[in-house]
Amino acid sequence: MKYLVILLVLIGIMGGSDSFAVPPMERVPLQNLVIQGVDDSMPIKSNQQYTIRTDYQSNFPNTEYVILYQITNEKNQVVLLSWLEGFQQKLTDQPGSFVCGDKICYNEWTYSEPYVCGDKICEGKFYAQKFVETSWLPTEPGKYRITAFAWESVGNPTALSPPISTEVIVQD
């Protein structure tokens, strides 16, 4: 019995399940918070609609997550709050990822799209990202901060990535 308890403790410490393989702050890394069609030399105008986009990866199977956008004005008042909930069922759900494995799998809906399947994503071998977008119609000129968060859920704001943000100035 004593050895069974020690074994169970070691499995928990050493990561007997995949839940210990990816640190929580790296489970849904966010990248590239941008306003579509706008570069640094272009003004953002009030009363014009814009699309905000963030790329992300979901690096862990069976992970529920929410990507949340928050836009605040100069007074730190929230002027937009929107989110998208997602679920990463298996690692091969990630578009553009390379999965390490030695087995050939087929798309469960068509069986005409074979792919390599395995139990983990090959380290550093992503060539495409998932992304989430929201639209924003600034109604007043001023300085705004756009922040994207990756959380476990709206009701559980445990971070799955450091937030990313950018500041913009809206003109008349």
Domain segments of the chain: what residues? 23-90+126-171
- Rounded CA gap, 126 and 122, in Å? 8
Token code pair at residue 13: 């410490």
Q: Residue 9 has what pLDDT? A: 40
Q: Residue 68 has what pLDDT? A: 94
Specify the amino acid at residue 27.
R
- The DSSP element (H or E) to which 104 belongs, if any, is strand 103-106
42 confidence band (pLDDT: 50, 70, 90) = confident
Q: Residue 118 has what pLDDT? A: 53
Residue bearing the bigger pLDDT, 133 or 116 = 133
Residue bearing the bigger pLDDT, 140 or 62 = 140
* pLDDT at position 124 over 50: no
Cα–Cα nearest to 57, from 91, 30, 75, 96: 30
* pLDDT at position 47 over 90: yes
CA distances from 7 to 18, 20, 22, 88, 118 (A): 17, 16, 22, 30, 27
Q: Residue 27 has what pLDDT? A: 75
Q: Residue 40 has what pLDDT? A: 79
Mind giving me the DSSP string for 2-62?
HHHHHHHHHHHHHTSSGGGTS-GGGSS-EEEEEETT--TTSPEETT--EEEEEEE---STT
CATH of 23-90+126-171, one of 3.40.190.10, 2.60.40.10, 2.40.50.140, 2.60.40.350: 2.60.40.10
* pLDDT at position 119 over 90: no
* pLDDT at position 26 over 60: yes
Residues paired with 146 in a beta bridge: 71, 166
Residue bearing the bigger pLDDT, 36 or 62 = 36
91 confidence band (pLDDT: 50, 70, 90) = low
